[in-house]
A and B are shown apart, each in its own frame.
Chain A
């Protein structure tokens, strides 16, 4: 194997200089071989773990799920179900309203603020949409919806985090439109509308929006920091 790299290079000098493992004396060769074996095993194990992580639940991943998770989380987590198995076929618009304390001490109700609509408007004609426009609210709602049951009860710590997160986003966004007054309570709802199937498909879907309204949440003084930053 020596001189292989140089020897077959077109026009390269026919050097007899050994490179790589061949250039080493036996004890060092053993060390190099050990490293090679170790790295080969590590590479295979890593690729197998990542494969089992992205593959559908199967015989092996069900049996060794804990080991796979241990290996993959938190740094090698990945999800490549891009628009799959089906692309999202609904526009989920998040809207919010607030109760504010006015200067004379009264409580004022705001109307519904179309927060997703604001995002959509900001994305229109935008070559470089920001994560604040495209991901923040959209994914916060997904996160909330996936960590709460239909009666809006959180499924543990992550559910509670998602609630506080969504509330702070709402306080920040409504606070931009209503910067003067203290915010006491906020309420969030989602308005889900089917994307109508293409005209040529002959399918028709219900075009009536489905509304999911969450209970009123109390705004804490910590939440207000996000607006007063």
Chain B
């Protein structure tokens, strides 16, 4: 198992790895929470302005959008009817689905609804969007393909409880993906909500297909997802140890790992493009570029602060060059764990500054979340631990429920890694498999993340 292995052995080990596990469970869970939270905050922020931005009678009227979308064929459920009520339904669906995806409730189904909501709203009015909307738009589609509810989700907690009910002390990491659409294979606890959700979504899909509002491409995609989840549920119930069930698992892992790779490359492309085009600009070369956005009326919510920051020529030069260096260098630093982490911290800091200084909070938040796909597992688990402790503290203060804790989570790592597990039992992934990855940073592509 060292780097001098024959290429064939390396290849076969790689294939074994990408087929047997959905890699980066913490990273994908983090971006699931991050993107859905960003989108949720955005929708809530624009709640008072929703009619003006996306409604049928706004400046970009239903009729204008219809003429544009007939031409470019973008997907948006808001074009299915120009009624006020339908608009409220879709906007409401976007809010609810992002909240539930954030919590990891029926993650697979919610990720699809999240995509439907995000694409519907964003494609409805493309001319009010910015880079942040663009990131959300892309990631909403990629998230559908990932098993992003393996940890830090209500699904994972339910799966862990079901495993306990079956008498398994520790759920096997590979047996409980914790995000089956309808139900994880849990014969001990009968799941009713999952099948009901599946039938309801199937009905909605049938209606939209019969009404002819879906293009054939989207109809194919939605029906494939719906059928696959139904078959997955049946297999989990009737033949959990069958070869076909394992094949499904392998395909799901492959889809997840491909999508994760695409998400990572997408993040690199964003930085590479932003950096490389900057190099060509005279203002980025003469070191004054950072001065200008701070003096644009549309991007200076704090003019006094902007003046102060741009008063020193050398400081502006350093920020200007630093931005270009970091953006251009980022994709290459992925080959070195330590440098990568330093750059990540720098970029997250810069985006936090942009959020406030340029008045771009949602764009910055989306970019920070995209960066987070490269954060180390150990760090993410620690963040999860803090979150769990903060939540536990809050709960203890607000309500006193003695005797509610099962106590079975003791002795498992910190026992509070999961955001949602007051009993410390929501951990689907044992500390073993992740710990191993942490200690051998040169292997595979999750360790670097």
Same complex origin of A and B: yes
- The answer to whether the Cβ of A111 comes within 8 Å of any Cβ in the partner chain is no
- Complex contact A165–B253 (CB within 8 A): no
Q: Which residues of B contact A168 (CB under 8 A)?
A: 59-61, 64
Interface size on A, residues (CB 8 A): 90
Which of A23, A43, A93, A136 is close to B258, meaning CB atoms less than 8 Å apart? Answer: A43
Complex alpha-carbon distance, A181 and B324, angstroms: 52
Residue of B nearest to A139 (CB): B127
In chain A, positions 2-47 with a C-beta closer than 8 Å to chain B are: 2, 4-6, 8-12, 19-25, 28, 31-32, 35-36, 39-40, 42-43, 46-47
- Complex contact B59–A31 (CB within 8 A): no
Given contacts A4-B16, A87-B283, contact A130 B73 (CB under 8 A): no
Interface flags for B1-33 (1: CB within 8 Å of A; 0: not) read 100000000001101111111000000000000
Q: Which residues of A contact B283 (CB under 8 A)?
A: 86-87, 89
Query: How many residue pairs, one in A and one in B, have C-beta atoms under 8 Å apart?
Result: 268
Residue of B nearest to A51 (CB): B269
Complex alpha-carbon distance, A64 and B121, angstroms: 31
Complex alpha-carbon distance, A123 and B358, angstroms: 10
- Complex contact A86–B20 (CB within 8 A): no
In chain A, positions 92-130 with a C-beta closer than 8 Å to chain B are: 93, 116-117, 119-120, 123-130
- Complex contact B298–A43 (CB within 8 A): no
- Complex contact A5–B292 (CB within 8 A): no
- The answer to whether the Cβ of B407 comes within 8 Å of any Cβ in the partner chain is no
Complex alpha-carbon distance, A158 and B68, angstroms: 7
Which of B21, B45, B53 is close to A19, meaning CB atoms less than 8 Å apart? Answer: B21
Tell me which of B17, B243, B277 has the highest count of chain A C-beta atoms within 10 A of its own C-beta.
B277
Q: Which residues of A contact B63 (CB under 8 A)?
A: 222
Complex alpha-carbon distance, A9 and B173, angstroms: 12
- Complex contact A22–B16 (CB within 8 A): yes
Residue of A nearest to B13 (CB): A1
- The answer to whether the Cβ of B58 comes within 8 Å of any Cβ in the partner chain is yes
Given contacts A84-B278, A200-B313, contact A140 B127 (CB under 8 A): yes
Q: Which residues of A contact B432 (CB under 8 A)?
A: 9-12
- Complex contact A10–B134 (CB within 8 A): no
- The answer to whether the Cβ of B49 comes within 8 Å of any Cβ in the partner chain is yes
22 A/B residue pairs, CB under 8 Å, sorted by A: A8-B1, A12-B436, A28-B246, A32-B250, A50-B266, A55-B273, A74-B75, A75-B75, A84-B278, A89-B292, A116-B298, A124-B301, A131-B53, A132-B49, A134-B298, A135-B130, A165-B64, A172-B59, A198-B313, A222-B61, A226-B58, A229-B57
B residues neighboring A (CB under 8 Å)? 1, 12-13, 15-21, 45-46, 49, 51-53, 55, 57-61, 63-64, 67-68, 71-75, 119, 123, 127-131, 134, 137-138, 141, 174, 243-244, 246-247, 250-251, 253-255, 258, 261-262, 265-266, 269-270, 273-274, 277-278, 280-284, 286, 288-289, 291-293, 295-298, 300-303, 310, 313, 316, 356, 359-361, 430, 432-433, 435-436, 439
